[in-house]
Structure 1
């Protein structure tokens, strides 16, 4: 990460400034009533009732057509007070925008900074991951634990923890506590990425866990190279930074985070509910490695050499389609160890083709959004068939869906900062689904809820 104003500092500044002005945005009539007079008496109430405030950020003012000489000074003072308030508010917003824009120019991955800021704000004032008791030591690993073989001869635990996309994955104390809780609870598979910006607290938690009975050799550590760092030299440098930030001698698995550079347009299309089909003709901009195919090949060459040097144990991909995986296989370098993709019972046909190819090529699959993801999780957990299976086994709907993925020989990385939920996720080894139950969940693929999911085709 670059040097600059931190996300926390930006948010703290905004909160303090707003508190100083005694203002919540958008403003309510009550907030103006609390402001010192004379301003509160001349704000147009109709403006306050508008949801869009298209009339501008500053409140529309009430004017009196004719003023007596005696009333003019008081009304002018009211007008000046209102304009002063407006100036303070608009100036504050401009300052915040300037600070954020300046901060974005200092970070290595601006898109990652945006997501961290979003989740930081989302988690503001909410409980973070509780500290781990100083006397807590490691619990036994789950019984009947499952593993997926790696080309290096190593084994990837099939049940991991994802360190993305929630407030506790970006707050440093929560990251440290989450990883320590997870490892001491018996978990051994950690999934993160360079763009998440949480390598340092993860590394610290690994060191502390080792002191409490969890050796580094038992932990399977996964991270990813963001497309902005594609290219031979850039990838070599990026992995070097990862190793240093994590404070480890080696990384078990390094993935290419996506097959091409992710643009703001793609993010907007994804979150806007549009399936974004990104053409192969787009090139990596502002990079020396050339077009996207050349960049991917150069990056794979770097990972292959790092694998030979023992700095990484295996190399893999994420969000790759079949032609892109074949492209890397044609190089005759490191075998593709894994492909991390969105996977759950509602994947479309083209995503199932990726799964089938990986199974045929002995490429391990890791699922993200196993429960449906940020958009649909609440709906998937309420499906009658899933709840009925859970009731039969005295398990939650979430545990049923996670166990279904394991039945498909897919590893899972559910994310949570709650120690109780970590234990529940690790507890799915205590039961299994019958072939009939697996088939019943398979059949949910045709459920209308499938229309609620969005996928990016890179």
Structure 2
């Protein structure tokens, strides 16, 4: 079993493991393959697992946590860091607490370690789907939704609260927060560095967790560009590493935690082999020179009748 480094998030108990396992598979569904992979990951040493109401992975994750305890892979749920997310159709003041209670019921847990607002937009209550119906897009009442999320933490239903896919400007909309977001989970990889956002979050004491560190190839929102980068291929070959390991090591060296999704047992093991070596300054400079392009622009959230009429409005100029 590998001991994964963790990152402190203040004085509120355990921090967040540097490497975690994502569970988003499109089309969104749970499966025995997912449960088997999660169980193997726990056995290998993974302790951070990322879920969401949208992914339909909460129930299989919860069942697997129980199985891991039964088999003795972990002594208690407290050894794990479990993240889930509030979907847009529940991003309304009165729906947040019931949504989190439903998430905990699905996971068979008494508390989450981290609960995130999935996107800075609301939808008409009801469906959990992507692509979404553009006529259902609504502006989010950030103040009332965040107050409800804060209430969930005060009730002890989640240790930390945060957001996902928020730009610097969107984070500034939370200026009224009594409990500031602990985490902003965003797309980040060697082709999408998020330098401005990382600097802003560092100043504000907000931890960054990176999703799609390999470009999310093979998903609805993914791209092949990361894994097909000639620069990354050259670095990997020279180092005797995989391209995935180079990507994960690069993200780790930026001081953020990272989520990677794989249900392949060998790749799960390879993902853990990033902590005992470093990229050289020359390699970092080469990666810095790769053309930048966001993999998931979020076109699904753009509509002439919705709150965001352009990608620039959604990302506040951070798309280029």
Task: Give the whole-Å Cα distance in 2 for the aligned partners of 1:230 and 1:380.
Answer: 32
Which residue of structure 2 aligns with residue 173 of structure 1? Answer: 32
Provide, for residues 239-295 of structure 1, a one-character-per-residue CA deviation record: whole Å limited to 9, x for no partner. Answer: 01111110111100000000003699xx779xxxxxxxx9xxx9955xxxxx52x2x
Task: Give the whole-Å Cα distance in 2 for the aligned partners of 1:217 and 1:255.
Answer: 19
Task: Give the whole-Å Cα distance in 2 for the aligned partners of 1:154 and 1:359.
Answer: 19
- Tell me how far 1:401 sits from its aligned partner: 0.7
Task: Work out which of the residue numbers 293, 300, 304 in structure 1 matches 2:146.
Answer: 300
Decide whether the 8 Å contact of 1:230 with 1:298 is kept in 2.
Answer: no
In proportion to residue count, which structure has more strand? 2
- Tell me how far 1:370 sits from its aligned partner: 0.9
Which residue of structure 2 aligns with residue 363 of structure 1? Answer: 206
Which residue of structure 2 aligns with residue 14 of structure 1? Answer: none
Task: Work out which of the residue numbers 234, 244, 258 in structure 1 matches 2:105.
Answer: 244
Which residue of structure 1 aligns with residue 9 of structure 2? Answer: 150
CA RMSD of aligned residues (A): 2.6
The structure 1 segments of at least 4 consecutive aligned residues displaced by more than 6 Å after TM superposition are none
Tell me the SS of whatever aligns to 1:367: strand
Task: Work out which of the residue numbers 331, 338, 342 in structure 1 matches 2:176.
Answer: 331
Check 1:445–1:409 CA distance in 2 against 1; reply closer, same or farther (3 A cut). farther
Task: Give the whole-Å Cα distance in 2 for the aligned partners of 1:217 and 1:433.
Answer: 33
Decide whether the 8 Å contact of 2:190 with 2:226 is kept in 1.
Answer: no
- The 5 Å alignment of 1:39-438 reads 140-142=1-3, 145-151=4-10, 152-166=12-26, 170-211=29-70, 212-214=72-74, 215-261=76-122, 285=138, 291-292=139-140, 294=141, 296-328=142-174, 330-347=175-192, 351-374=194-217, 377-438=223-284
Decide whether the 8 Å contact of 2:214 with 2:226 is kept in 1.
Answer: yes
Decide whether the 8 Å contact of 2:147 with 2:177 is kept in 1.
Answer: no
In proportion to residue count, which structure has more helix? 1
Decide whether the 8 Å contact of 1:407 with 1:438 is kept in 2.
Answer: no
Which of the pair has more CA radius of gyration?
1
Task: Give the whole-Å Cα distance in 1 for the aligned partners of 2:145 and 2:2.
Answer: 35
Check 1:268–1:163 CA distance in 2 against 1; reply closer, same or farther (3 A cut). closer
Higher relative contact order structure (alpha carbons within 8 Å, sequence separation ≥ 6)? 2
Structure 1 alignment gaps of length 5 or more = 1-139, 270-277, 286-290
The number of aligned residues is 289
Tell me the SS of whatever aligns to 1:187: coil
TM-score by length of 2: 0.82
Task: Give the whole-Å Cα distance in 2 for the aligned partners of 1:268 and 1:312.
Answer: 28
Task: Give the whole-Å Cα distance in 1 for the aligned partners of 2:277 and 2:26.
Answer: 28
Check 1:332–1:268 CA distance in 2 against 1; reply closer, same or farther (3 A cut). closer
Structure 2 alignment gaps of length 5 or more = 299-310, 315-320
Decide whether the 8 Å contact of 1:344 with 1:370 is kept in 2.
Answer: yes
- Tell me how far 1:355 sits from its aligned partner: 2.2
